[in-house]
Each structure stands twice: as structure tokens, then as C-alpha cells.
Amino acid sequence: MDFTRKESEVLEEIKRLQSSFPNLHFHGSHPAVSTGPLIPGCEICIRSNHRAYISFPLGYHCNAKCPFCFVYAYKTDTPDKRKEEEHIRKSFLSEFQHHKDKIEGVAFTGGEPLLYLPELKVCIFEIKKAKSGLHFWVYTNGIIADDEHLGVLKDLGIQEIRFNLAATDYNKEVLKYLKRARDMFKWVAVEVPSYPKQKDKLIGCLEELNRIGIDQLTLQELLVTDINVHNLEKEGFREGYQSGIQLGLISSTKFFLYGSRKMTYEIMKYCVDKKYSFTINDCSAR
Ligand code: SF4
């Protein structure tokens, strides 16, 4: 993948695309841009206080294998990995304890969080013991999001669930689980990377997402890392700066797939024209 695009040109293009929408919601200094109100997890995330929530990886075992995945997710579980992850969870629990006064919500991620229900139970128990009234949300690829697994999440007090439909290339069975989730959770969202290769598949299920009555569709700008760079095609661009990096001084650089955020605004326009009821949120990791 080449990183020849200039960040300034990409940003100009996005600004032009944004200007064709009359009522976009901007959220202070946070890069999120939405067509309407955001679900509580996002509301907490965009607050200027960056410690308002904690993103808590339960472990990196996953039953999907996404070309765009930017974490070291693995398919085959081993006792060694489980042990290592136990340490990671402990360190996140102590980070939570350290910042708990400011924290308003906890986002459970993975890997695939539904493969970690006993661990999730322990973590939520510890967190609730330390502080009550928090907002909890979970990300899932939806592959095993049946009544049994969703029921456990609900009983644990999860209020918000986000399905990554892109992980299964917008599989119809997962859409059925999403529909069940709508009956069980107060807030239901679909959160996918804006991956131009899957654009038609996403468009193909938007009508159904509207019928189901999801609250929000979040489209993430596709982050390129060492892990996924060899799976992605076309061009990328670099965001941020590097200064004195040889001396370990300053590095704030991220890499993104060019065309990802452009796709976000094309999907947004499609949804707005169709007058779908859910909010569309442009989310970028910059
Ligand atoms: S579902 Fe998530 S964690 Fe699993 S492979 Fe896909 S992007 Fe990675």
C-alpha cells in the first residue's frame, strides 16, 4: 500500500462532502460528526475529559478473521494466552480503580467479547463494587449473539450493544441476532469500518437496519496498522506528525485508508435521502 495522499487534501475533500449536509452535528474538539443525537457510549466518549470512559479489552480470542482487523486477534485459544490476558484484565481493572472518580462508562472490547462471558462477569462485579451507576457497552461481531449470550449480557447490566456486521460481510443470520438484540437492549448500534470493498453489502442491509430500528450506525475511518496493512488494497495517507523520532521525542502519527471516510459521507447521504430514523456517526481515530 502506498501512502502518497496528502492529509491536507483528504481533509479538504471531507470538508467539501460535509458542506453538502445542512444539519450535521459537530461535537466540540472531538472528530465525531453525526446526523443526530449520539448513543450514551458515544456521548461519554466525546466529552473533553478523556478519562470519562475506559475501553476494556477482555482478550484477543476471536471467531472471525477480518481483513481490516487492526489488533492481534487470534483464532486458536491456548492456556498461555488466557493467562497473559488475565494479567491484561487485571491491569485494566487497576487503571479503572485509579481513575474511577472521573469514569462514567466502560466499553468492553476484544477480540470477541462474547467468548469471554465468565471473565466479563468477574470484571463487571469488580467494577460495580468500586462504583455504581456506570454505563456499560459491549462490541460484538455477532456470530454467537444468540438469545443465550445476549441474555447473559442483559443480566450483567449491559445497556448498549454494538454489532460489527462487517466482520461477517453483513451476514443475514447476524442480522436476525441484531433484531433480537433490539428487543433486549435500550441502545443498539451497528459499528463498522468504512471499507469501500464492502460498501454494496452495507447498502444492501440499510433498509433492514432501519426496519429493525437501530439507534445508530457508526462508520469508522479505517485505521491502517502493521497488522492489516498487507490485507488492504489501494492508497493510504498519514495523519499527524513525527519530530525527533530517532531520539524518541515526539511521535503522533496514524495511518488511514484513503476513501474510507469518503465512503462514510456517501453512506450518510444515502441514509439521509432515504430518511432513515437512525443517527449516522462519522468516527475517526484521529
Ligand atoms: S471481529 Fe473484531 S477482533 Fe475479531 S477479527 Fe474482526 S475486527 Fe478483529
169-215 residue pLDDT tens = 999 999 999 999 999 999 999 999 999 999 999 999 999 999 999 99
Can you tell me the mean pLDDT for 231-238? 84
- Cβ of 127 less than 6 Å from ligand 1: no
Probe residue for ligand 1, chosen from 62, 108, 116, 225 as the CB with the greatest number of ligand atoms within 8 Å: 62
In the prediction, which pLDDT does 241 show? 57
Mean pLDDT estimate for the chain: 92
Crossing angle for the helix pair 199-212 and 172-184, to the nearest 10 degrees: 30
In the prediction, which pLDDT does 242 show? 53
154-167 residue pLDDT tens = 999 999 999 999 99
Task: Note down the domain range covering 153.
Answer: 30-221+268-283
Asked whether residue 110 carries a pLDDT value surpassing 90, the answer given is yes
Atom of ligand 1 nearest to the CA of 60: 3
Question: For residue 77, what pLDDT band results from cuts at 50, 70 and 90?
Answer: confident
- Cβ of 280 less than 6 Å from ligand 1: no
Distances from the Cα of 81 to the Cα of 86, 256, 275, angstroms: 9, 29, 46
Left (φ > 0), alpha (ψ -120 to 50) or beta: where does 259 sit?
Answer: left
| Closest protein CA for atom 8 of ligand 1 | 69
Can you tell me the mean pLDDT for 277-284? 95
Asked whether residue 244 carries a pLDDT value surpassing 80, the answer given is no
Asked whether residue 270 carries a pLDDT value surpassing 70, the answer given is yes
Question: For residue 48, what pLDDT band results from cuts at 50, 70 and 90?
Answer: low
Dist. CA 223–CA 255, nearest whole Å: 6
Within 10 angstroms of residue 25's Cβ, the number of other Cβ atoms is 14
In the prediction, which pLDDT does 284 show? 84
Can you tell me the mean pLDDT for 70-83? 90
CATH of the domain at 273: 3.20.20.70
3-state secondary structure the chain: CEEEECHHHHHHHHHHHHCCCCCCEEECCEEEEECCCCCHHHHHHHCCCHHHEEEEECCCECCCCCCCCCCCCECCCCHHHHHHHHHHHHHHHHHHHHHCCCCCEEEEECCCHHHHHHHHHHHHHHHHHHCCCCEEEEEECCCCCCHHHHHHHHHCCCCEEEECHHHHCCCHHHHHHHHHHHHHCCEEEEEEECCHHHHHHHHHHHHHHHHHCCCEEEEECCEECCCCCCCCCCEEEEEEEEECHHHCCEEEEEEEECCHHHHHHHHHHHHHHCCCCCEEEEECCC
Which amino acid does the sequence have at 54? I
Asked whether residue 249 carries a pLDDT value surpassing 60, the answer given is no
- Cβ of 192 less than 6 Å from ligand 1: no
Asked whether residue 245 carries a pLDDT value surpassing 50, the answer given is no
- Cβ of 62 less than 6 Å from ligand 1: yes
In the prediction, which pLDDT does 233 show? 82
Can you tell me the mean pLDDT for 112-127? 98
Is 212 a member of any domain?
yes
Dist. CA 102–CA 122, nearest whole Å: 22
Considering only residues 244 and 75, tell me which one the structure prediction assigns the higher pLDDT.
75
Dist. CA 185–CA 153, nearest whole Å: 9
In the prediction, which pLDDT does 4 show? 84
| Predicted TM-score (pTM) of this structure | 0.93
**CA 7 / ligand 1 centre spacing (Å):** 27
How many folded domains does the chain comprise?
A: 1
The residue to which cell 506528525 is assigned: 241
Is 247 a member of any domain?
no
Is 203 a member of any domain?
yes
| Closest protein CA for atom 7 of ligand 1 | 69
Is 274 a member of any domain?
yes
- Cβ of 165 less than 6 Å from ligand 1: no
Is 122 a member of any domain?
yes
Within 10 angstroms of residue 93's Cβ, the number of other Cβ atoms is 17
- Identify any residues that bridge with 251 across adjacent strands, giving them in sequence order: 242
In the prediction, which pLDDT does 143 show? 98
